[in-house]
A and B are shown apart, each in its own frame.
Chain A
Amino acid sequence: MLFQSQGFILIFLPLAVAAYYAVAGSERARHAVLITASLVFYGWWDARFIALLVGQISATWLIAYWHKRVGRAAILVVGIALNLASLATFKYLDFLLASAEWLTGFALPRAHILLPIGISFFSFQLISYLVDRMRGDAPLYPFRPFALFVLLFPHLIAGPIVRHNELVPQLALDPRRDGLWRRIAVGLMLFTLGFAKKVLIADRLADMVDPAFTAAAAHPLGLIDAWHAALAFSFQLFLDFSAYTEMAIGIALMFGLLLPENFRRPYLATDLRDFWRRWHISLSNFIRDYLYIPLGGSRHGAARYVLATLLSMGLCGLWHGAGWTFAAWGVWHGIGLVVCRFWQQLARPMPAALGWLVTMAFVLAGWVLFRAADFATAASMLTSLVGLHGAGGSFGDPGLIIVAALVSALIPSAHEIKDRATWPHPAFAAAAAMLAAYCVLEVGKGPPLSFIYFRF
């Protein structure tokens, strides 16, 4: 079930919210409503994977429980390995087989396993809990709130990646506490904002991007076509994913829960380190805390720093997809971060405008690698971007690109909106409702497009 489908907006969400507040006085009943809703939400795609999801959650909790009784860290290592093994099997097995085949020259069979939606997200959350337990930073929660911390449908499929200590304590709070109507109002506004960004801008950009990258796989594009496709994808990716995040944070607020921030206008970043503090923040924090710092971070000399950065970012790339183009995209950013840090150590800062230009050019080149089906298409696209295949092409719908750029630059992050929003004026609420109604009619036209980050 997609957040922007009519079934979700007109039936599922109102029913879930109504049931939740009908039993708001009982923590146990509230949790039961959210767990049921989340399982229905997840099972809507493929009910077979509910067993995997519930199995991974249950196994992780049992391991934590066992660890509490026995006190051996090795037990937690088994739990981490179990979650990694699930991720490796369901997401990376065919990729690993194909890579082994390429390396060895031996023909290997393929498993052709369907990718369970959201597996990267819920596996990471479970791993982070076990690592935190190993560090002594995570208590053993009762099973119900622990399961709900992973299952909660607003973040289950595509984040933001939530840590146990950010969510579990909130699950005990009475949603009718002070600020109830403000939370619901802000939640509805954020949901509408994300809904409109997804339906009115990101999906329309997809109609430009998909044919262009398909064409680039067949023949080189001209300079204008290549820039058109690369810019359109850069905005599509941000608007699509940030729209999902805003809808997720908005829905969670309707249940009285606050999910972490994920984006802070990343295309305003003036250096690459700044970009990663603004882009997919919950993943960046995860990579920092569970990969980069354990690998040595920046406190063990330059060589270790370079290695930790490249490895962390390479794995971050692979997290996005089982393909070498994703790994290369991660390493590309790793190299960029290393260069950025050393440049900053020279204490010769670039003018902000130049820094922004260099950063955006670097990010855009990375997105080409991220979106292209293979290295050949990426190379073709990148050479087109520097004009090696002529100046041909047309800027199909410059108006849409301009709107996308303005929305990307001007709309504050979800948490900024939440914190700054005053009580909505009735006329503003009515206008937002009309926008939401228009979007509901638009999505009713045909099968809605999935969010890009669902596939990760």
Chain B
Amino acid sequence: MRFLAVLVAALAATLAAVVLIDPYDSGRFPTIGIVGISDTNQRTEYVSLGRSHKFNAAIFSDSHGQLLDPDRLTQATGLSFVQLSIPGAMAPEQLAVMRWFIRHHAQIGALVLAADQRWCGEDPQPWKWFPFWLYGDSDLQYLASSLNSRSVGAAVRRIEHAMGLLQPSDRRGYDDYEARRPPDYTFAFPPPPPPAPPPAPIDLAARVFPAIDRLKAELDAAPTGTSLVVVFPPVYIAALPSDAQAVAELAECKARLARLARATPHGGFLDYLIDSPIARDQASFQDVDHYRAPVARRIEHDIAGVLKGPAAASR
């Protein structure tokens, strides 16, 4: 009986402490009132930022949207941007964060989606290690999933943060990967592929894009007047798809996302994932997949142009 009493008491006390401290600032239950968090893991950090009413616009992506600066976009558009891109996140994870942001905002200026081929799959699989329970609709699932040592560790960090022992998270969620690059960093870019003839058209009218369908459902639930800007950031020329089927699927995917974005007020579509002077310039990239600051500034400028200018701007 002593064993059972201590086990139940220990687990109940742990769960109660986790709920009251609210380690990720989920706002689901009454808490002891700590303000802010200290978290360096975007997978959990964006629970707090994603529900904050300081922001009315957000960027969703994997690392391909990470370098877009929410401060600069805020200055350029007059909206208040937060960066919610999670390196490694696939479409299901990005959609979960987007849903969380939409659920917590009665007014939204803009949603910026920096998409890539991960949005074009026929069967997008959720990421095993992503904490969907943190962003989900169910408080019960949140409670059931909170009983773990990671949440306990996060609760301890939040207490340390409240005591001033830890730095708070970035106020807009920005994480500049270029800032972590060593000074002597170099990257051996593969040679550009030889020019290929334009692939024969492939009929993809019947092809399904489940992630785009889910994006549409989330947009339908967003407040009236929400703009959607979809951006396909550039990659180095050698990383562009060359297989005819992949090229055709990407083109169809872009077309469907463009239609969706242009149907929203002040929405638009920006496509840099093409063979262009940017894609052929090694100085624009840190590696084949990740562009550098000047490219980010240009994309931010173009996003601001779409949001401020006439609807449906396009490159």
Q: Which residues of A come within 8 Å of B, CB atoms?
A: 6, 10, 181, 185, 188-189, 192, 424, 426, 429-430, 432-434, 436-438, 440-447
Known: A426-B2, A429-B2, A447-B128. Is A436-B7 also a contact (CB below 8 A)?
Answer: yes
A429-B6 in contact (CB<8A): yes
The interface residues of chain A lying within 8 Å CB-to-CB of B149 are 438, 441-442, 444-445
9 A-B pairs in the complex with CB atoms less than 8 angstroms apart: A10-B11, A426-B2, A434-B10, A436-B3, A436-B7, A441-B14, A442-B148, A444-B147, A446-B129
**B315 CB contacts on chain A under 8 angstroms:** none
B3: contacting residue among A10, A185, A441, A442, CB under 8 A: A185
Cα separation A445 to B149 with both chains bound (whole Å):
6
Known: A6-B147, A442-B148. A437 touches B2 (CB 8 A): no
Q: Which of A429, A434, A437, A445 has the most CB of B within 10 A?
A: A437
A-B CB proximity, top 9 nearest: A444-B148, A433-B6, A437-B10, A433-B7, A429-B3, A429-B2, A441-B149, A430-B6, A426-B2
Determine if B179 is an interface residue (Cβ-Cβ < 8 Å).
no
Q: Which size class do B's interface residues fall under?
A: 20 to 34
Pairwise interchain contact A430-B2, C-beta atoms closer than 8 A: yes
Contact residues, B1-17 vs A (CB, 8 A): 1-7, 10-11, 14
- Write the B1-45 contact mask toward A (1 if CB under 8 angstroms, else 0): 111111100110010000000000000000000000000000000
- Let me know if B150 is at the binding interface, CB within 8 A: yes
| Besides the known contacts A192-B3, A429-B6, A445-B148, 18 further A-B residue pairs in the complex with CB atoms under 8 A apart | A6-B147, A189-B3, A424-B2, A429-B2, A433-B2, A433-B4, A434-B10, A437-B11, A440-B147, A441-B149, A442-B148, A444-B145, A444-B148, A444-B149, A444-B151, A445-B149, A445-B150, A446-B129
Whether B311 is near chain A, meaning CB under 8 Å from some CB there, is no
In Å, the complex CA distance between A266 and B156 comes to 42
Instruction: Chain B residues near A424: list those with CB within 8 A.
Output: 2-3
- B274 in contact (CB, < 8 A): no
Residue of A nearest to B129 (CB): A446
A446 to B129, CA, bound (A): 7
The answer to whether A188 and B4 touch across the interface, beta carbons within 8 angstroms, is: yes
Contact B3 A430 (CB under 8 A): yes
Which residues of B109-159 have CB atoms within 8 Å of chain A's CB atoms?
128-129, 144-145, 147-152
Q: Which residues of A contact B3 (CB under 8 A)?
A: 185, 188-189, 192, 424, 429-430, 432-433, 436
Distance (whole angstroms) from the CB of A17 to the closest CB of chain B: 10
Q: Mask for B170-193, Cβ within 8 A of A = 1, else 0?
A: 000000000000000000000000
CB-nearest residue of chain A to B128: A447
Measured CA separation A185–B3 after assembly (Å): 8
Which partner residue on chain B sits nearest A7 by CB separation?
B144
Q: A441, B6: Cβ atoms under 8 Å?
A: no
CB neighbours of B148 from chain A (8 A) = 441-445
Q: When chains A and B are docked, how far (Å) is the Cα of A247 from the Cα of B149? A: 22
